[in-house]
């Protein structure tokens, strides 16, 4: 990673590398989290899953907004480790919904009156003329192309696709294509049978009669002299650059508009649904939308926080051997309290001192959204001396800011700090059905890596 990145916090998806934890790499995440909370020690991650100096680093990390969260296996999921499947088909022009069984029969195209102009690819419209027995045709409002130029005229304004199929039925090319398809299917069956006989024993090969050679293909109809001459020219072709596609009348035929598909995404491990859109073509909502930002704490680099030291945050490049205080703000998106444990990475490039390794994030409430003074961090009443002694420099609503003392040891184009985050919370309380009592929900523990990108070190 040679280019300098802007200061940000990137999240690592476990599908791109194995996650390791100190002294408990084979233990479940819930047991590791419980051990770290009970002992009240300062655990440190032995090794980060991705080296920030690697050229693949930008491909293995992402912002929290671009990641999914599987609440079944409690893991982050990126776009490369999800399974996509179709959730509905529709025409982008008329928004007509197509059944899954009809997609193949309609050749993945709209079966209504939706066609593209062969010249400018604009959507064609059906126009009526007073001339001729077939008064309707397809016309382009942009380049003024009309289907009468290729002899396409229609009796009705509806069912254009069906009428075009009847026009093409009289042509030689569709019948020739069907005959070629049947011929090569026969060749494939004969080849497969010959390979099966050749793989058997000598007695089996003697027991099977000889299949023989597949006869040479013969055209169904000879066609006109112009078509025969064109086929002869294509057979003797040596340079494809000399072929003029504009002279081919079939190149000027309008094409049916291709169908669009809505995708649903599943977890690659447990196949739990992560994203499921509404089946309606006009709908933009989702039935299921499990985004990581709705389950994991959002970690940011605040621009204004009162630190213990007079240095300003992220002003200018870092200097080797100079300690700089850095603030990280954690925001809880859940309606329940969340416990957070932060472990630093052992590295020879940078020294990181964490004063607050374990803290609690208050639950999120809608009242914080209407607080007009929430951006005034310097006047917050939560900057108590006890919190500052514990490494917490700011509290406001569902957000807590902690301080890191960062000392770069070597010059680098980007100062990247890997941190291992373990957070746990209790699911919402479940109401009793009979006596009205409440029972505690299950405990959920999430463990993931983040990379704090700070900037250049001189």
- 166 shares a domain with 120: yes
| 318 shares a domain with 184 | no
Same domain, yes or no: 421 and 301 = yes
> Same structural domain for residues 103 and 238?
yes
> Which residues share a beta bridge with 261?
89
Q: Which helix (H) or strand (E) holds 176?
A: helix 172-199
Instruction: State the burial class of residue 323 (Cβ atoms within 10 Å of its Cβ: 0-12, 13-18, 19+).
Output: middle
Residue 433 confidence class, pLDDT cut points 50, 70, 90: very low
Looking at residue 38, its pLDDT comes to: 37
* Statement to judge: residues 192 and 324 lie in one domain: no
pLDDT in tens, 204-259: 544 444 445 767 777 766 666 666 676 666 656 666 666 655 555 556 789 899 99
Residue 396 lies in a domain: yes
Checking if the pLDDT of 340 tops 90, the result is yes
Whether the predicted pLDDT of 426 surpasses 80: yes
What confidence tens digit (pLDDT) does each residue in 8-42 have?
899 998 886 543 333 333 444 444 433 333 333 34
Residue 375 shares a structural domain with residue 321? yes
The 10s digit of each residue's pLDDT in 48-103 is 888 888 888 888 899 999 999 998 888 899 988 899 999 999 999 999 999 888 89
Q: What is the rounded average pLDDT of the residues 155-165?
A: 87
276, part of any domain: no
Quick check: is 395 in a domain? yes
Supply the pLDDT for residue 371: 54
Give bridge partners of residue 392 from the DSSP assignment: 402
Q: Does any domain span residue 304?
A: yes
Same domain membership, residue 102 and residue 49: no
User: 248: domain range?
Assistant: 97-256
How many domains is the chain partitioned into structurally? 2
The neighbouring-strand residues paired with 116 are: 123, 255
Sort 286 into a burial class: Cβ within 10 Å, 0-12 / 13-18 / 19+: middle
Residue pLDDT, tens place only, 282-334: 888 999 999 999 999 999 988 766 555 444 444 556 788 888 888 899 999 99
Asked whether residue 199 carries a pLDDT value surpassing 80, the answer given is no
Quick one: 319 and 387 in the same domain?
yes
- pLDDT value, residue 18: 42
What pTM did the predictor assign?
0.69
**Would you put residue 390 in left (φ > 0), alpha (ψ -120 to 50) or beta?**
alpha
428/310 same-domain check: yes
Judge whether 74 lies within some domain: no
Report the mean per-residue pLDDT for the chain.
77
297: its two tokens? 């704490």
Contact 383, 430 (CB under 8 A): no
Q: Give the per-residue pLDDT at 324.
A: 84
């Amino acid at each position: 990673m040679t280019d300098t990145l802007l200061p940000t916090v990137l999240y690592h998806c476990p599908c791109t590398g194995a996650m390791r934890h100190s002294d408990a790499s084979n233990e479940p995440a819930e047991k590791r989290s419980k051990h770290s909370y009970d002992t009240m020690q300062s655990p440190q991650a032995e090794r980060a899953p991705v080296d920030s100096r690697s050229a693949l680093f930008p491909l293995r990390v992402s912002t929290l907004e671009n990641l999914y969260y599987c609440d079944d296996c409690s893991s982050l999921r990126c776009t490369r480790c999800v399974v996509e499947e179709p959730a509905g088909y529709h025409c982008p022009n008329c928004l007509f919904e197509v059944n899954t069984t009809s997609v193949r029969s309609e050749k993945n195209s709209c079966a209504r009156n939706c066609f593209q102009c062969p010249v400018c690819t604009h959507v064609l419209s059906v126009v009526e003329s007073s001339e001729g027995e077939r008064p309707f045709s397809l016309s382009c409002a942009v380049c003024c192309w009309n289907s009468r130029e290729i002899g396409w005229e229609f009796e009705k304004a509806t069912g254009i696709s069906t009428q075009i199929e009847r026009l093409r039925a009289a042509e030689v090319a569709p019948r020739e294509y069907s005959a070629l398809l049947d011929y090569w299917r026969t060749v494939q069956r004969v080849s497969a049978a010959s390979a099966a006989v050749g793989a058997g024993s000598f007695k089996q090969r003697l027991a099977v009669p000889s299949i023989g050679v597949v006869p040479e293909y013969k055209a169904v109809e000879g066609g006109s002299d112009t078509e025969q001459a064109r086929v002869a020219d294509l057979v003797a072709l040596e340079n494809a650059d000399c072929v003029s596609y504009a002279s081919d009348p079939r190149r000027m035929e309008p094409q049916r508009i291709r169908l669009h598909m809505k995708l649903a995404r599943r977890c690659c491990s447990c196949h739990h649904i992560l994203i499921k859109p509404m089946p309606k073509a006009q709908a933009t909502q989702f039935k299921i939308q499990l985004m990581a930002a709705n389950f994991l704490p959002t970690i940011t680099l605040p621009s204004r926080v009162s630190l213990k030291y007079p240095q300003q945050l992220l002003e200018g490049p870092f200097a080797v051997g100079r300690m700089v205080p850095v603030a990280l703000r954690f925001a809880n998106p859940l309606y329940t309290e969340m416990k957070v444990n932060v472990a630093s990475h052992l590295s020879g490039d940078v020294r990181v001192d964490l004063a607050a390794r374990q803290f609690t994030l208050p639950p999120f409430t809608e009242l914080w959204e209407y607080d007009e003074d929430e951006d005034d961090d310097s006047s917050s009443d939560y900057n108590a001396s006890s919190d500052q002694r514990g490494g917490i420099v700011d509290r406001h609503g569902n957000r807590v800011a902690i301080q890191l003392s960062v000392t770069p040891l070597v010059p680098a184009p980007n100062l990247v700090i890997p941190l291992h985050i373990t957070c746990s919370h209790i699911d919402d309380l479940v109401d009793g059905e009979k006596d009205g009592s409440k029972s505690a929900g299950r405990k959920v523990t999430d463990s993931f890596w983040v990379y704090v990108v700070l900037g250049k070190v001189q």
